[in-house]
Amino acid sequence: MLTLDSNPDGTVRICGRLDAAQAGAAQAFLDRAEGSVVLDCSGLEYLSSAGLGVLLKTQKRLMAHAGQLRLTKVNRHIRDIFKYSGFDNILQIESDE
């Protein structure tokens, strides 16, 4: 399961597993985001390459309009995925520690 919610402070809270089955729904949600977006990942358990694709596409779109995607409270497993994929150079990432 995956849920995405907009918090009152403007951040987006993502919870659950962002896999190939959920990538479409996540993409549809993030396609509506504009400007600079902070993604609160404290509830994000899992991310696959399908999820990386969603984040990449979103980042490209936001950057084209001088915005960007910032990820906070990222767990260790997902941080490793970002590192191995080189996404730590593409996205602004803050860990959960």
Partner 1 sequence: MKIEPLLAVTRRLAAPVDLTTMLQEVIGAATEVLDAERGSVWLYDRAAHELVLQVSTGMEQVRVPADSGIVGSCAQGRQVINVRDCYADPRFNPALDRKTHYRTRCMLTLPLVDHKDVLVGVLQVLNKKDGVFDEADESMATSLAAQCAVALQRARMIEDLIDGEKMRREIEMAREVQTGTLPATMPEIEGYDVYGMSRPADRTGGDTFDVSCVPAGVVLVLGDATGHGLAPALHITQMHAMLRMAMRLGADIDAAVLHLNNQLGEVMPDDRFITAFIGVLDPATHVLRYHSAGQAPILHFSAAQGECRTYRPTTFPLGAMPAPSVREAVKMLLAPGDILVLISDGVYEYANGEQEMFGEDRVAAIVGANRFAGARGLTDKVLAGLAQFAGDVPQEDDITLLFVKRDMPASGRWFARSFDSIPATVAFRREFFLDNGIADSLAYAVDFTIEELFTNMVKYGNMSRQDIRIELRGAGSGIEVVLVDPGADRFDVTEAPDVDVSRGAADRRPGGLGLHLIRRMVDSIDYEYDAPTRTGRTSFRKTAC
Integer Cα distance of 50 and 19 in angstroms: 6
The two three-digit tokens of residue 88, written as one number: 């730590």
Between 43 and 53, name the residue whose CB sits nearer to partner 1. Answer: 53
3-state secondary structure of 29: helix
Report whether 55 contacts 23 (CB < 8 A): no
Tell me which residues in 11-70 interact with partner 1 (CB under 8 A): 17, 19-21, 23, 46, 48-50, 52-53, 56-57, 59-60, 63
Site of interaction with partner 1 (CB under 8 A): 1, 17, 19-21, 23, 46, 48-50, 52-53, 56-57, 59-60, 63, 77, 81, 84-87, 89-90
